């Protein structure tokens, strides 16, 4: 027998270790679930970590209200299958209550509003660790992120003053009121994620596969037509053969033209792609340090 | 196509360096030549370079993530970079090289298989080179690759390379390193990085990329001494798995099989492995770094922090720990100070009983006069722990031989230790 794990199995083992460490070191953890492939992977790995027991934490969906229907359907089916508890933190509710104010205009997005709603929900539920599907290869600020990422009582990230993280020794100690963000899949790349989902035959939302959809183009990005986005007069809606490489809020998730409709074809397409997946995310394009700025305030 | 990646291995390597020694250029080159820099990333860097008034696309911007790093043009923290070839997936722990960031170098080195050490062909072995090599040796990175860079600036001369090789070898004979290789490169021009240089026919060895793809890392784990720190106890409490009691953890050493006679620490009780379980079904053999769940035949009280080992091969059982500690905090290490200590899945408290000497990280000199251990210092210390600790020498096992110290007031990780 050959005593080595391939890279996917090694990544899997590392993530499972981190997830079990969360269950051991924290009182009240929660999984942040967006319905995207990374949080699906995270939840799948959590299922593996505690098998045959159930995942000992609830899932939280920070819901902007601007969802793809397919995401919500998938989410509810998955929750039912896992027998897990779902907490929905609603941006719409916070707007209705007057707690936050919505952006206006063509590029209005509820992205920034999520931070407020997320921090509020973490505080209300007294969650001391929030597991997220963030990956270091996604974005330059995320490349500096720890597995166990400390947040102060305001939920802020201080990138210049992070705890050193060595070997597999994670320090989850904190003061009352502080919490941790934990990123078990830090070391996975987009391609690793797809290869693994393919290898494990994980069921995914239909949005990831090629389908025909009413879309329009803005600044070179293809958006799904929805009631949530104002269109400029020159923006024409037409049917296109597309799929999504990432899934988030409908107003900031761009599609790619693609005929890939199996995981095998997606793996091949991602491997050959000359653009990053976040290239279609308008939330990152607001400035050079858009992600770092948002993360400091307490974003995912 | 879909099965091509089934046999890919993962290799983690660390680089260290400061401005101008070509580290960022080398990483940029590896990422670019392995087609890991995508068009939108390249475009973003091109725009940034232009905005900063630079005439060429500055690939170093790819590796500097934080605003402060971009502004100051330096690397502060450890950044992780990813690329892959059909043979391997690589994780680069990209760390700063300046002495004031020793702690970041130590962090990056803690999980690496290979230390990639850059030497400027014009300058030879300098203080920073020695520092990187000493850290790599202290952290027991199994393989060291010395890249003699900027060969284009010494007209690709063999003598320049040979001189540095001998200089480094005579210095390294004082270190605890087992596998050193050398490669002459020019990161800027791409010589011997991914493609073989046409200007150095005198060099017959592998290119940098060939080395990274082929260096033997399968033996980097300890497969001899069985160590399984219990991380979490799985108890489903469902009808289907009513009496299920599994000990979840990651194998830290050795190979575990069903039917093995094992011993539990600290209790000293013996039992037999009834089953090694996972979500994907029963596992025949569990070896590092697999995460599995072990079930035993006997009902013994076991909890997180306990360790499953073999009866005839046990770790050191002690409350007095000798270790080399790298200090991370602005507040110096306190002699007789108390700290929280984390070792495998155990947590306890400890007191610093003795500071034996401070190690000069540039010369290996053991300073027994100045024992004030400040941030970035490395010292040999004696710790007394509140509980028994089951440890191996770090040289034998990087997982059961490592520990961290945590300040009980601020909760910061203040030190990292390698057990002697």
The reply to whether B128 and B236 lie within a common domain is no
Locate A1 and state its tokens. Answer: 């027998």
Residue B112 banded pLDDT, cuts 50, 70, 90: very high
Average pLDDT rounded to a whole number, residues B358-367: 90
Q: What was the pLDDT predicted at B29?
A: 83
Distance CA B308, CA B270 (A): 9
pLDDT computed for residue B228 by the predictor: 98
Summarised one tens digit per residue, pLDDT across range B31-52 is 877 777 777 777 777 887 788 7
Is B221 among the domain residues?
Answer: no
Given a cut of 50, whether residue B2 has pLDDT beyond it is no
Q: Check pLDDT > 80 for residue B150.
A: yes
Sequence-ordered strand ranges (E) for chain A: 29-32, 59-63, 86-90, 129-131, 148-151, 179-182, 211-218, 221-224, 238-244, 254-257
Distance CA A45, CA A37 (A): 12
Once rounded to an integer, what is the mean pLDDT over residues A209-223?
Answer: 91
Closest of B240, B188, B274, B354 to residue B282, by C-alpha: B274
Burial track A217-245 (b if 16+ CB lie within 10 A, e otherwise): ebeebbbbbeebbeeeeeeeeeebebbbb
Sorting pLDDT into bands at 50, 70 and 90, what band is A177? Answer: confident
Domain match, B24 and B165 both: yes
Interface of A with B in 232-291 (CB under 8 A): 263-264, 267-268, 273-276, 279, 288-289
**For the segment A254-278, what is each residue's pLDDT rounded down to a tens digit?**
899 999 999 999 998 888 776 666 6
Domain of residue B344, CATH code = 2.40.30.10
> What's the confidence (pLDDT) of residue B316?
96
Q: Which ipTM did the prediction report? A: 0.93
Residue A5: its pLDDT value, please?
A: 92
Percent of chain B surpassing pLDDT 70:
93
Q: Are residues B57 and B181 in the same domain?
A: yes
Query: How much of chain A, in percent, has pLDDT values that exceed 90?
Result: 59
Burial class of A50 by CB neighbour count within 10 A (0 to 12, 13 to 18, 19+)? buried
Binding-face residues of B in 198-227 toward A, CB within 8 A:
218, 223
Q: Is the pLDDT of residue A220 over 90?
A: no
**pLDDT computed for residue B71 by the predictor:** 63
Residue B138 phi, psi (nearest 5):
-60, -40
Q: Longest Cα pair distance anywhere in chain A, in angstroms? A: 65
Task: Give residue for tokens 């725009």.
Answer: B47
Worst-scoring range by mean pLDDT, A122-136, B92-106, B272-286, B397-411?
A: B92-106
Q: How many whole angstroms separate alpha carbon A268 and alpha carbon B187?
A: 30
Domain A7-192+288-297 is found in CATH 3.40.50.300: no
The answer on B381 and B276 residing in a single domain is: no
Strands in B291-296's sheet, in edge-to-edge order, are: B227-229, B307-309, B261-265, B270-277, B291-296, B246-250, B232-234
Backbone angles phi, psi at A143, to 5 degrees: -65, -20
Q: Indicate if B291 and B348 belong to the same structural domain.
A: no
Residues B120 and B235 in one domain: no
A176/chain B closest Cα distance in angstroms:
12
Would you state the structure tokens that stand for residue A122, as one six-digit string?
């973490």
Residue pair B311/B270 in contact by the 8 Å Cβ criterion: yes
Q: What is the distance in angstroms between the Cα of B386 and the nearest Cα belonging to chain A?
A: 19
Number of C-beta neighbours around residue B74 at 10 A: 16
Quote the mean pLDDT of chain B: 90
Mean pLDDT value of segment B164-181? 93
- For A53, the closest of B2, B41, B235 (CB atoms) is B235
CATH number at residue B51: 3.40.50.300
DSSP one-letter code for B103: H
* Domain interval for residue B331: 316-419
Last residue of a domain, one of B309, B342, B360: B309
Higher pLDDT, A286 or B193: B193
Is there a contact between B38 and A175 if contact means CB atoms under 8 Å apart?
no
CB pairs under 8 A between A and B: 187
Confidence at B1, pLDDT banded by 50, 70, 90: very low
Across the interface, of A1, A54, A275, the residue whose CB is closest to B39 is A275
Task: Note whether A174 and A20 are within 8 A (CB).
Answer: no
For residues B306-326, average pLDDT: 96
Longest alpha-carbon distance in chain B = 75
The band of A73, judged by pLDDT with boundaries at 50, 70 and 90, is very high
Instruction: Give the model's pLDDT for residue A249.
Output: 83
In a domain, B219, yes or no: no
Structure tokens at B245: 């009691």
Residues 10 through 49 of chain A touching chain B, CB cutoff 8 Å: 10-14, 16-17, 20-21, 23-24, 47-49
Q: Are residues B363 and B411 in the same domain?
A: yes
Average confidence (pLDDT) over B164-174: 93
Q: For position A299, what pLDDT does the model report?
A: 73
Higher per-residue pLDDT: B38 or B270: B270
B324 and B269 within one domain: no
Which of B281, B309, B337 represents a domain boundary (last residue)? B309
Interchain contact A153–B (C-beta under 8 A): no
The pLDDT tens digits for A74-107 are: 999 999 999 999 999 988 888 888 888 888 877 7
The closest of B105, B104, B100, B115 to B11, measured between CA atoms, is B115
Residue of B327, B359, B361 whose CA lies nearest to B134? B361
What is the average pLDDT score of chain A? 89
**Three-class DSSP category at B22:** coil
* Domains of chain A, residue spans: 7-192+288-297, 202-284
Is B65 domain-assigned? yes
Query: Greater confidence, A285 or B197?
Result: B197
Contacts of A19 in chain B (CB under 8 A): none
B103 or A210, which is more confident? A210
Q: Are B236 and A54 a contacting pair at CB < 8 A?
A: yes
Contacts of B218 in chain A (CB under 8 A): 2-4
Of B265, B287, B309, which residue is a domain's last? Answer: B309
Q: How confident is the model over A108-146, as pLDDT tens digits? A: 778 778 888 999 999 999 999 999 999 998 877 788 889
Contact of A160 with chain B, judged by CB distance below 8 Å, is answered with: yes
| Domain count for chain B | 3
The CB-side HSE value for B307 (13 A sphere, CA atoms) comes to 30
**B17 and B39: one domain?**
yes
């Amino acid at each position: 027998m050959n005593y080595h794990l391939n890279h996917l199995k090694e990544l899997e083992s590392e993530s499972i270790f981190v997830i079990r460490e969360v269950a051991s070191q924290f009182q009240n953890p929660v999984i942040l679930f967006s319905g995207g492939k990374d949080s699906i992977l995270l939840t799948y790995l959590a299922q593996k970590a505690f098998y045959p027991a159930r995942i000992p934490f609830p899932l939280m969906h920070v819901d902007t209200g601007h969802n793809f229907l397919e995401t919500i359907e998938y989410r509810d089916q998955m929750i039912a299958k896992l027998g897990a508890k779902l907490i929905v933190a609603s941006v719409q509710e916070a707007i209705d209550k007057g707690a936050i104010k919505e952006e206006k205009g063509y590029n209005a997005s509820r992205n920034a509003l999520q931070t407020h709603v997320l921090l509020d929900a973490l505080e209300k539920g007294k969650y001391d660790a929030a597991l997220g599907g963030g990956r270091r290869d996604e974005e330059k600020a995320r490349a500096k992120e720890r597995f166990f990422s400390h947040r102060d009582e305001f939920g802020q990230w201080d990138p210049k003053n992070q705890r050193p993280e060595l070997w597999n020794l994670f320090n989850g100690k904190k003061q009352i009121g502080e919490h941790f963000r934990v990123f078990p899949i830090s070391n996975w790349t987009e391609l690793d994620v797809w290869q693994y989902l393919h290898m494990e035959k994980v069921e995914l939302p239909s949005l990831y596969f090629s389908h025909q959809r009413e879309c329009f183009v803005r600044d070179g990005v293809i958006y799904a037509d929805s009631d949530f986005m104002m269109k400029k007069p020159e923006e024409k809606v037409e049917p296109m053969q597309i799929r999504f490489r990432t899934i988030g809020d409908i107003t900031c998730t761009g599609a790619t033209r693609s005929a890939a409709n199996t995981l095998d074809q997606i793996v091949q397409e991602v491997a050959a792609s000359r653009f990053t997946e976040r290239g279609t995310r308008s939330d990152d394009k607001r400035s050079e340090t858009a992600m770092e700025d948002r993360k400091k305030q307490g974003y995912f | 196509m879909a099965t091509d990646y089934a046999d890919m291995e993962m290799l983690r390597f660390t680089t260290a360096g400061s401005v101008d020694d070509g580290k960022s250029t080398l990483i940029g080159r590896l990422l670019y030549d392995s087609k890991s820099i995508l068009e939108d990333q390249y475009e973003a860097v091109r725009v940034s370079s232009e905005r900063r008034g630079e005439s060429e696309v500055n690939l170093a911007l790819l590796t500097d993530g934080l605003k402060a790093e971009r502004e100051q043009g330096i690397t502060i923290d450890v950044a992780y970079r990813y690329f892959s070839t059909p043979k391997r997936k690589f994780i680069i722990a990209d760390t700063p090289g300046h002495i004031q960031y020793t702690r970041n170098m130590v962090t990056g080195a803690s999980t690496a298989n290979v230390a990639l050490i850059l030497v400027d062909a014009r300058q030879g072995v300098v203080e920073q080179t020695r520092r990187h090599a000493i850290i790599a040796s202290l952290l027991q990175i199994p393989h060291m690759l010395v890249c003699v860079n900027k060969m284009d600036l010494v007209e690709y001369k063999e003598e320049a390379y040979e001189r540095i090789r001998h200089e480094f070898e005579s210095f390294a004979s004082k270190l605890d390193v087992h596998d050193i290789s050398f490669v002459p490169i020019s990161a800027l021009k791409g010589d011997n990085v991914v493609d073989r240089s046409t200007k150095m026919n005198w060099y017959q060895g592998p290119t940098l990329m060939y080395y990274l793809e082929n260096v033997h890392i399968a033996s980097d784990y300890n497969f001899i001494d069985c160590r399984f720190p219990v991380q979490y106890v799985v108890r489903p409490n469902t009808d289907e798995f009513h009496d299920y009691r599994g000990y979840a953890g990651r194998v830290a050493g050795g190979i575990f099989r069903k039917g093995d006679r094992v011993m539990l620490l600290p209790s000293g009780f013996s039992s037999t492995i009834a089953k090694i379980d996972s979500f994907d079904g029963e596992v025949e053999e569990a070896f590092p770094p697999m995460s599995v769940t072990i079930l035993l035949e006997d009902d013994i009280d076991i909890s997180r922090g306990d360790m499953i080992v073999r009866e005839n091969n046990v770790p050191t059982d002690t409350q007095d720990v000798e270790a080399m500690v790298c200090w991370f905090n602005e507040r110096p290490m306190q002699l007789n100070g108390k700290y929280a200590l984390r070792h495998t899945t155990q947590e306890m408290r400890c007191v610093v009983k003795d500071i034996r000497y401070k190690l000069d990280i540039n010369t290996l000199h053991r300073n027994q006069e100045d024992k004030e251990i400040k941030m970035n210092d490395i010292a040999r210390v004696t710790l007394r722990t509140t509980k028994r600790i089951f440890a191996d020498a770090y040289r034998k096992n990087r997982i059961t031989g490592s520990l961290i110290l945590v300040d009980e007031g601020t909760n910061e990780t203040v030190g990292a230790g390698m057990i002697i």
